Chain A
Amino acid sequence: MFAYIIRRFFQGALVLGIVGFIAFSMFRFIGDPYENILGQDATVLDRQALEERLGLNKPIAIQYLKFLGNAMQGEFGVSYRNGIPVSEMIAQRLPATIELAIVSALFALFLGVLLGVYTAINRDGFLANFIMTTSLIGVSLPTFLIGILLIWVFAVELNVLPSFGRGETVEIWGWKTGLATASGLKSIILPAITLGLYQMTLVMRLVRSEMLEVLRTDYIRFARARGLTRRAINFGHALKNTLLPVITIIGIQLGQIIAFAIITETVFQWPGVGLLFINAVNFVDVPIMATYLLLVGSLFVVINLVVDLLYVVIDPRLRLDGTEAR
């Protein structure tokens, strides 16, 4: 068990090392670093001074290790455009993205599992079929279109929810949150639905098909033969067994939610890191892009690690060291 975690940890470190290398390469291949920093009419002397200061005359390997070392200390360089340290900019924007991602992940998870279980249990019911059919819309409509549709209906026509921004925020222990104010809560509804709709339908369809599979197994039949209540069978036995494979997908999807927040943040002008990234791309602000890449990469690695640990919590068969056959 311990060896398992250690192994996963090193795998994660390897992945981050590779992601770090790609991020590092961006500095050399996207745009000209001298031009980016010094401007077009810099002298050769200026260039040499800069080369010395940034260590660009050292071997690639040394430069890469230095980059990694800095990144580990939270040192990501200075934005070309604003001249502010990137770590500061990210820290300022991150709470908005994390709040949006968590709210939409919870929305996707709860509604997805609930509807998935419902449609599996009442597989031939009218409502279940209706839900399944409408879920196709969620799977096939692109995110920006859903966002624009929601804005049109709820912000323009009905005028009940704001169409952009985060609303009022308050600072709690250094964390700027929009979840503590009425306008902040109202503002997060549309972006969260937009961001989580695809994941919600995905979770729902996955839970449904897994659950149908589990409901056919012998132990469910035996649970019925033992005279347990429908509730105990469906939620105590079937759902728990259903969630095992679903957790993997949900973990990956949570990473997707954060990574794809870019589009939703753009549509709703949500002041998170996604919007920061898009603006950075427009101005070829490489330090921000590289940092964003590292950030998303680390998130995926951490989420995968958590998913692996969750497996062990849910499935007793994995609690052994893997040395015993059964």
Chain B
Amino acid sequence: MTTNALLEVNNLTVEIPTRRGTLIPVNEVSFNIDRGEIVGVVGESGAGKSITGSAIIGLLDPPARIAGGSVTLQGKLISDMNENQLRDIRGKRIGTVFQDPLTSLDPLMSIGNQLSETAMAHLNIGRDQAREKALQALIDVGIPAAESRLDAYPHEFSGGMRQRVVIALALIGDPELIIADEPTTALDVSVQAQVLMLLKRLCKERNTGVMLITHDMGVIAETTDRVVVLYAGRVAEIGDTRQVLTAAIHPYTQGLVGATPNPTNLANSQERLNQIPGTMPGLLSMPAGCPFHPRCSEVMEVCKTTLPTLSQRENSTIACHLGAEAKT
């Protein structure tokens, strides 16, 4: 790991106080993102992916709050900033793309105005310049006949086109980092690939770092450089995408990869997909030791009592007791 990373998340912990106890949906999560690098964050529903993303830009819904750890953007601590300071980070230095493009845009404002108001909020430019900038942003994301679409309203666009508009909005302030929270989940499969490729191309061109939150291993394989696997709010494995997909070490990651259909195999075999037995534990009933041990196929005695720490293993960093003593 480099020390001059674009984004450094260090032991980030989020807690939600409730009447039945304090929930910890994100527990001591650490990872880095470099400029121009696409990092996938993957895990089951409820693993803490989206909350991690929200915590980074300070958009946690109360009563959820950051309870520990730090988030640093280019060496500057942003996790303890107040709302006013964060406003200069959001949109300008960290762009965001949400899951559902149908609900991300204000239905009563033309997309040209939404784009130019965002540009004017960050770039210190006038109305005319902002409009030009908005037009350019629409052209960049491949909206056909962009000029005539500036005054159109969100309901006049299809889902895929709307997500392109959302991406244009995220990129208009020229941010160093994009947090994309399941950007293609709500889209048609055929449109998904287009949108992903667009996001990938734009970010590589501008040297923008991307945190791509998804539960789709196919998206991870196609798009990302590195991948962070989350399980029950903790990091299970971090490594190069190729490494993680082909030679996963953590049994959970193996399970995730094994549960993904492979078109070439599927065509000539009747084999069933592997599935990971059981479900992820609830946040109020976290088991002792490794949170994955009740579902793990290679569970050992030590797993039931001791939480595994992250350790370097070949090209990955893993939290697992399996083979730990052999490597150290």
Contacts and interface: CB of A to CB of B under 8 A. Distances in A.
Interface string A5-45: 00000000000000000000000000000000000000000
B106 A226 contact: no
Interface string B81-112: 00100111111100010101001111111100
Given A218-B98, A317-B153, A326-B155, A225 B108 contact: no
Interface in A293-326: 314-317, 326
B172 to A, nearest CB: 8
A315 B108 contact: yes
Interface in B141-179: 153, 155-156, 166, 169-170, 173
B59 A224 contact: yes
Nearest to A315: B108
Contact of B103 (A219, A230, A244): A219
A218 B121 CA distance: 20
A136 B260 CA distance: 58
Given A221-B59, A316-B153, A317-B155, A226 B169 contact: yes
A326 B102 CA distance: 11
B57 to A, nearest CB: 6
B10 interface: no
A314 B108 contact: yes
A217 B61 CA distance: 12
A236 interface: yes
Contacts of B117: 228, 232, 236
Interface in A220-267: 221-230, 232, 236-237, 240-241, 244
A65 B109 CA distance: 48
Contacts of A226: 90-91, 96, 118, 121, 169-170, 173
A225 B170 CA distance: 9
B122 interface: yes
Contacts of A222: 96, 98, 104-105, 166, 169
A228 B88 CA distance: 9
Contacts of A317: 107, 153, 155
B59 to A, nearest CB: 6
B87 A223 contact: no
B306 to A, nearest CB: 39
Contact of A225 (B98, B153, B156): B98
A223 B57 CA distance: 13
Interface residues of B, number: 32
Contact of A229 (B121, B156, B173): B121
Nearest to A217: B103
A216 to B, nearest CB: 9
A273 B83 CA distance: 54
B104 A219 contact: yes
B103 A227 contact: no
Nearest to B103: A218
Contacts of B83: 230
B173 A227 contact: yes
B108 A240 contact: yes
B106 to A, nearest CB: 5
Contact of A228 (B57, B121, B153): B121
Contacts of B90: 224-227
A225 B103 contact: no
B106 A219 contact: yes
The winner among B89, B100, B155 for most chain A CB atoms within 10 A is: B155
Interface in B215-230: none
A315 B156 CA distance: 13
Contacts of A223: 106
B105 A225 contact: no
A228 B90 CA distance: 8
Nearest to A226: B91
Contacts of A314: 108
Contact of B105 (A219, A227, A315): A219
A326 B159 CA distance: 11
A14 B156 CA distance: 35
A221 B96 CA distance: 10
Contacts of A219: 103-107
Given A227-B91, A316-B107, A316-B108, 13 more contacts: A219-B106, A221-B59, A222-B98, A222-B105, A225-B96, A226-B121, A227-B92, A227-B122, A237-B109, A240-B109, A241-B106, A316-B155, A317-B155
10 contacts: A217-B103, A222-B105, A226-B96, A226-B118, A227-B86, A227-B88, A227-B90, A227-B91, A227-B92, A316-B107
Q: Which 4 A-B pairs have the closest CB atoms?
A: A227-B91, A227-B90, A225-B96, A218-B103
